Amino acid sequence: MKTYQKILGIVAITASTTGLLYSAAVYGDDDDHEGGFGWFKQSKLDVAPVENAVYRAECGSCHFAYQPGLLPEVSWRKMMAGLEDHFGDNAELSAEVNKTILDYLVANSADKSDYKRSKKIAGSLKQDEIPLRISDTVYFKRKHNEIPVRFVADNKDVGSYSKCAACHTRAEQGSYNEHEVKIPGVGRWED
């Protein structure tokens, strides 16, 4: 091997090792790691982020735009078929917009997604169960059963589990890691 080839080889190995160590270090302290590898970043997200502008505008106006990967297809179909009475509100849409949104939700639903939390949510459902709330799923309840009521329903800055982004500082990005939780008026979650 010529000397310059050796040097090139060493540089390449050093660069990839540094990259891996960097990703590992950043992963460890749960900071953003925009400089890490794309695949690594994706593998850390819990659900796929919302990427549909129509969905975001129509379904993110009253509350957080829940990622489609938080509920299974059957749930989205049922919800989109009853928007005139949506948890007591009228959220009806034109047939055309409804179809655009339903197609997006179904294609990215929990039972079709490869993201880790989507798979767990889908896997936790009983047969024939059609939850209309993410917060009614078995997986969600298991993950939130240690949180005292005074931090949620009785917390004037939260009020209900529907407000994912009130506690999950990176919910918008699709990251629900327990180490990124900060409960309003309480602070970081340490368990």
Binding site for ligand HEC (CB under 6 A): 46, 58-59, 61-63, 66, 70, 79, 83, 86-87, 89, 91, 101, 117, 133-135, 143-144, 146-147, 151-152, 158, 160-164, 166-168, 176-178, 181, 183, 189, 191
**Residue 168: strand, helix, or coil:** strand
The answer to whether 91 and 62 are in contact (CB under 8 A) is yes
Smallest separation, CB 49 to ligand HEC (Å): 13
Rounded to the nearest whole angstrom, what is the least distance from the CB of residue 6 to ligand HEC in the complex? 44
Give the C-alpha separation, 12 to 24, whole Å.
19
Strand partners, 188: 182
Q: Which two tokens stand for residue 11?
A: 């540089």
155/11 Cα distance (integer angstroms): 54
Nearer to ligand HEC, 22 or 63 (CB): 63
User: Residue 4 CB, nearest distance to ligand HEC (Å)?
Assistant: 47
> Residue 162 corresponds to which amino acid?
S
Between 32 and 178, CB nearer to ligand HEC: 178
Q: Which is nearer to ligand HEC, 36 or 65 (CB)?
A: 65
Q: How many residues does the chain have?
A: 191
Can you state the angle between helices 95-107 and 73-80, rounded to 10 degrees? 170
Distance CA 49, CA 29 (A): 22
What minimum distance in Å lies between the beta carbon of 20 and ligand HEC? 23
Residue 148 CB, nearest approach to ligand HEC (Å) = 9
Closest approach, Cβ 176 to ligand HEC, in A, equals 4
Nearer to ligand HEC, 19 or 44 (CB): 44
Q: Which is nearer to ligand HEC, 122 or 166 (CB)?
A: 166
Nearer to ligand HEC, 22 or 162 (CB): 162
**Side chain identity, residue 104:** Y
- Residue 120 · residue 139 · CB < 8 Å: yes
